[in-house]
Amino acid sequence: MENIWTAEKMPNQQGTRVVITGASSGIGYETARAFASKDAEVVFAIRNLEKGEEIARQLKKEYPNASLKMMKLDLSDLSSVRRFAQEYKQSYDSLKLLINNAGVMTPPFQKTKDGFELQFGSNHLGHFALTGLMLPMMSHVPSSRVVTLSSTAIRGAKINFDNLDGSNGYNRVKFYGQSKLANSLFAQELNVRLRASGSNTISLGSHPGRANTNLFSLGSEKTGPLMKIVKALLAPQSAEMGALPTLYAATYPVLKGGEYIGPDGKGGNKGYPKVDTSVLKLYDPQITKQLWDVSESLTGISYLS
């Protein structure tokens, strides 16, 4: 079918540098692998550098000329986010693509080093801070993009501003949905502010549907037998397929910014990438502004008024 878009249809990315958070496994890895296959310079923004180096060796066997760089980033620690941005600036003066991919899903109640609930702190606040620090190196780059991953878990989710830290009760599934809704609202609001500022950069959102990745185990010691069964039942497509909406959002030429890309199958659970307009009904300007203001206050990162 002519409307089916795959990674093979990505334009060549020679001369493009892309930063991908959580690029050493799952959808992040498949995203990095696709960019490596198209001659991009790929920066792995990851927690475990040793694991990253092993991944790099594997990719080099597949793509000997691939340009891969490992840089440490822990999104649950704002000092690590700031350190990553500073180290990046010492090595480079520009960035074309930032893919906010990393995430934790439904862990037991935990807090980040800065005292935030782990899912909201890592999935949203960490990426909010990172994007704010990286944007100055993107705004002058033509066709630069920020892609932030969300999830089908945003259906029915809401932002509980009175209990962002979980101190008044914690439900791991609801807090995951909250963090991914925050990702989606952030992607949309960022694009609005980028347009208003006249920046060359655009912002887009994406979601992978239900993909078979190790996301379920992050934030806990290991994936238990029950979660492995749940994972198999709820994840009908591969991580490689799950990466397609992100790759489409990052590289499809005619996108203007503000789009939300997801699988084209029933319920958006699997399939090939398409623009998903259903998410637009979730955008409440008042809630989005409140989320932005709270995020600036909690992270200490202010940008694009």
Cα separations in angstroms, 200 against 46, 196, 256, 291, 293? 27, 11, 11, 24, 24
Q: Among 63, 170, 272, 303, which one carries the catalytic annotation? A: 170
- What's the maximum distance between 2 C-alpha atoms anywhere in the chain? 52
Q: ∠ CA(82), CA(83), CA(85), 5° rounding?
A: 65
Judge whether 182 and 123 are in contact, CB under 8 Å: yes
Judge whether 165 and 115 are in contact, CB under 8 Å: yes
Judge whether 7 and 29 are in contact, CB under 8 Å: no
**In 3-state terms, what secondary structure has residue 45?**
strand
Neighbouring C-beta atoms of residue 37, cutoff 10 Å:
17
Letter string b/e over residues 177-200, b meaning 16 or more CB atoms within 10 A of that residue's CB: bbbbbbbbbbbbbbbbbbeeeebe
Contacts of range 85-92, beta carbons closer than 8 Å, 24 or more positions apart: 85/130, 85/133, 85/134, 88/19, 88/43, 88/134, 88/137, 89/137, 92/17, 92/137
63 is an active site residue: no
Neighbouring C-beta atoms of residue 80, cutoff 10 Å:
18
Block residue for tokens 């005292």: 115
Would you please indicate which residues are annotated as catalytic (active-site) residues? 170
